[in-house]
Amino acid sequence: MINSILDLSKIEAGRFDLEHQDFSIAELLQDVVPVINASAHAKGLQLSIQMTALPASLRGDRTRLAQALVNYLSNAIKFTERGKITLRGSKLEETANGYLLRFEVADTGIGISPAEQALLFEPFSQADSSTTRRFGGSGLGLAITRQIARLMGGDAGVDSTPGEGSVFWFTAWLGKGEKLPSASAATALESDEETLRREHGGKRLLLVEDEPINREIAQMLLEDVGLVVETAEDGLAALQLAEKNDYALILMDMQMPKMDGIEATKAIRQLPGHQATPILALTANAFASECERCLSAGMNDFITKPVDPARLSRILLKYLSRPQDSAAQGV
C-alpha cells in the first residue's frame, strides 16, 4: 500500500518516469503470470491468455506494463468466486514508430453497476463500503493503472454487468522493438536468438507441459526464435507423439499426470530413432538430487521454472547445434 501511495504521489507530481527497453510479449507474461497464478489456482479459477495477435517485439516500460496487468488480474481474482479469468491483447493501430495496443482482463465475477463504475478509477475509491470490508484493498490499483495507461498515451476503463462479470481494459502506445539492442547484455541475448533463427529456424520441437499457462508461455518463447512447436499435456501423450514423429529436441516437464517426465523419458529412449534426441527437463526443483534423477533417466540437461528466456536460448542453441550422436552423451 505504501508503494502504491508513493507511485501515485510521483505521478501527481510529474516525477513518474517511464523506462524504454526492448522486450517480448513472452517476457512480459513471465513477469505477470507467476505473480497471480497461485491465487487463481487456489480459488479454482481457470486462467486463459490470448496474446498471440500482438507484435513479438516491443519497446517501452515493461515493468509498469506488468504492474498494470497485475493490478487488473489481482482484482479479477479477488472478485471472482467461480469461472475463469481471461487476459487478452490486441493491436488497434500501427505507425512507423509503434503500436497502439489494448489489454483486457475479463472475469466472471460479481459485476459492477453503471453508477459504481464511475468511482472505480478514483484514488482510495471502491464500488461501495462493503467491498472494502469483504474483500479488502486500498482502492489504489485501478487509479494507478489508469495513470500508467495515460502516461503511455492511452486510457483505461471498464465494461461490466452486475452478476455477469467485468472487462477491465487499458490502451497504451508502445514502440517497435529493435532486432539488435545496443546494451551488451541484451545484445548477447539477441545474438543467441538470431543464431537460433538463422541456423535452426523451422526445426520441430516437442514441448511437454501439463500446466496450460506455462505451456503457452514456453511455446511463445520457442516460436519467437523460429522453432516449430508441438505440445503434449502429459508424458503419455508425449510418448504417443514421439512414436509417430521425429523431433530435433524435446522439452519435458517433470511433474505430470498419467506419466511423469522421468517415466516418459525412459520410454522415449526405447523408441527407434530417439536414443540421441536431446531431452531437456523443465523443473521447478534445481536441487542436485533432482538434477541427478533427470540425467539418470536419460535426459541431457535441465531448465528451471519459471523459464528464463536468456538461459532457454542459450541451452537450445547448445543442443540444437550438436550432432545428435554427441547430444546423446549428455552434458
Pairing state between β 46-50 and 84-94: parallel
The answer as to whether 329 is a domain residue is: no
The answer as to whether 328 is a domain residue is: no
Tell which of 159, 176, 193 closes a domain.
176
The answer as to whether 131 is a domain residue is: yes
pLDDT of residue 329: 41
Whether 169 contacts 103, CB under 8 Å = yes
User: Which run of H or of E encompasses 299?
Assistant: none
The answer as to whether 94 is a domain residue is: yes
Question: Into how many domains does the chain fold?
Answer: 2
Same domain? For 157 and 275 the reply is no
We report the CATH number of the domain holding residue 79 as 3.30.565.10
We report the CATH number of the domain holding residue 257 as 3.40.50.2300
List the pLDDT tens digit at each of the 331 positions of the chain.
Answer: 445 444 545 555 455 678 888 988 888 888 888 788 878 888 888 888 888 678 878 999 998 899 899 999 998 998 899 999 999 999 999 999 999 999 999 999 888 888 887 777 776 455 444 444 444 444 567 888 898 999 999 999 999 988 889 999 999 999 998 754 434 434 444 467 778 888 899 999 999 999 888 888 889 889 888 899 999 999 999 999 999 999 999 999 988 988 999 999 999 999 998 989 999 998 877 666 767 788 888 899 888 877 878 788 889 999 998 765 544 444 4
Same domain? For 152 and 188 the reply is no
How far is the first Cα of the chain from the last one, in angstroms, to the nearest whole number?
A: 47
The answer as to whether 306 is a domain residue is: yes
Alpha helices in 43-183 (DSSP H): 62-78, 114-117, 129-135, 141-151
Same domain? For 48 and 75 the reply is yes
3-state secondary structure of 181: coil
Beta strands in 130-184 (DSSP E): 156-161, 165-176
pLDDT of residue 130: 47
Same domain? For 213 and 145 the reply is no
Same domain? For 82 and 117 the reply is yes
Whether 303 contacts 30, CB under 8 Å = no
**DSSP characters over 236-256:** HHHHHHHHH---SEEEEESS-
Same domain? For 289 and 160 the reply is no
Same domain? For 156 and 205 the reply is no
**How many CA within 13 A on the CB side of residue 119?**
12
Tens digits of per-residue pLDDT, 147-202?
899 999 999 999 998 888 999 999 999 999 875 443 443 444 446 777 888 889 99
Distance CA 257, CA 270 (A): 21
pLDDT of residue 324: 56
Tell which of 158, 176, 194 closes a domain.
176
Domain with 269, as residue range(s), is 184-323
Tell which of 176, 200, 215 closes a domain.
176
Whether 24 contacts 190, CB under 8 Å = no
Same domain? For 66 and 135 the reply is yes
Distance CA 281, CA 283 (A): 6
25-42 and 212-224 helices cross at what angle (nearest 10)?
180
Same domain? For 160 and 205 the reply is no
Q: In what order do the strands lie in the sheet with 228-232?
A: 228-232, 204-208, 249-253, 279-283, 301-304
The answer as to whether 330 is a domain residue is: no
The answer as to whether 331 is a domain residue is: no
Residues 6 or more apart whose Cβ sits within 8 Å of residue 176: 55, 57, 58, 59, 97, 98, 99
Closest CA to 310 of 179, 218, 214, 192: 192
pLDDT of residue 117: 77
User: Which run of H or of E encompasses 218?
Assistant: helix 212-224
pLDDT of residue 293: 80
pLDDT of residue 166: 93
169: cell is: 481494459
pLDDT of residue 14: 56
Same domain? For 170 and 190 the reply is no
Whether 197 contacts 227, CB under 8 Å = no
The answer as to whether 25 is a domain residue is: yes
Distance CA 259, CA 179 (A): 40
Closest CA to 89 of 211, 207, 1, 171: 171
Which residue in the block uniquely carries the three cell numbers 549428455? 330
Same domain? For 318 and 198 the reply is yes
111: cell is: 459485476
Whether 149 contacts 68, CB under 8 Å = yes
Same domain? For 241 and 291 the reply is yes
Burial class (CB in 10 A: 0-12, 13-18, 19+), 117: middle
